[in-house]
Copies of this chain bind each other. A is one copy, B any other.
């Protein structure tokens, strides 16, 4: 499906980390003023707060609470660390339920001290251990495949195909996939695997930003939509064709943009969102 540029802000969601220096309250207020309609909350922005009250406050700003970010980091060569990871993910379920977030985004993790295959099996095991509690609390778990440049320490799940395989192996309507263009744009099988993901009911989230050239930092040099080379509109077409009708979540880590006035940055986000 060929889609045109985005015309309005009705599906615009922003991750709190994108406007890094703003508190949750500042983000809520400023996003509303800018016409943003959804928010994905990184867990550090909840520290020291009454989470349920924070959720109510965000909703009072007209913001849908799209996801809690992030759970995961299941693999480790240490069984004690793996157990701690499970505990932390159970805590994330509590937080998501209290906040009223529909899902938790999973940055699955990897340990360079063991093979990717072992890390992947520990990821699946971790998700399966957390899943019953997530179901009880009405919280979904979204596997986010990460770019292969993060395969050593951040995620052993690096393609949409692998995420599909894992979500299908687990086989729960509470486990799906968060597709982020930054991680996936290079993959020649992306269209096919997005289609498969949608057909299996597993497409839970869609994240956008851009890949700038040159990229000077492996983590914190993402671009605004249009600043880079990712065919965002084409990928959004595949995602919508696959049946996804949720938010387009802007998730930009950028030392460059974080160093600027965050109101100006938010204006640029809105401007680059329209038309992407």
Interface residues on A, range: 20 to 34
Contacting residue for A159 out of B162, B185, B188, CB 8 A: B188
**Bound: A113/B116 CA distance, A:** 34
Residues of B within 8 A of A21 (CB): none
From known contacts A151-B186, A214-B153, infer whether A228 and B162 are also in contact, taking CB-CB under 8 Å: no
Residues of B within 8 A of A115 (CB): 231
Contacting residue for A162 out of B112, B158, B188, CB 8 A: B188
A112 touches B213 (CB 8 A): yes
**Bound: A162/B228 CA distance, A:** 23
Q: Number of copies of this chain in the oligomer?
A: 2
* A 252-266 to B, binary, CB cutoff 8 A, 1 in contact else 0: 000000000000000
Contacting residue for A229 out of B112, B161, B162, CB 8 A: B112
**Bound: A231/B156 CA distance, A:** 14
Most B CB contacts (10 A, CB to CB) among A115, A161, A215, A229 go to: A229
**Bound: A148/B182 CA distance, A:** 11
Does A218 count as interface, using CB distance less than 8 angstroms? yes
Contacting residue for A228 out of B112, B116, B147, B149, CB 8 A: B112
Does A211 count as interface, using CB distance less than 8 angstroms? yes
Does A152 count as interface, using CB distance less than 8 angstroms? yes
Does A187 count as interface, using CB distance less than 8 angstroms? yes
Residues of B within 8 A of A218 (CB): 149, 215, 218
* A 139-178 to B, binary, CB cutoff 8 A, 1 in contact else 0: 0000000011101110000110110000000000000000
Chain A interface (Cβ < 8 Å from any Cβ of B): 112-113, 115-116, 147-149, 151-153, 158-159, 161-162, 185-188, 211, 213-215, 218, 228-229, 231
5 contacts between A and B (CB under 8 A): A113-B229, A115-B231, A149-B149, A149-B218, A152-B211
A-B CB proximity, top 7 nearest? A112-B229, A151-B186, A149-B149, A148-B186, A112-B213, A152-B213, A148-B148
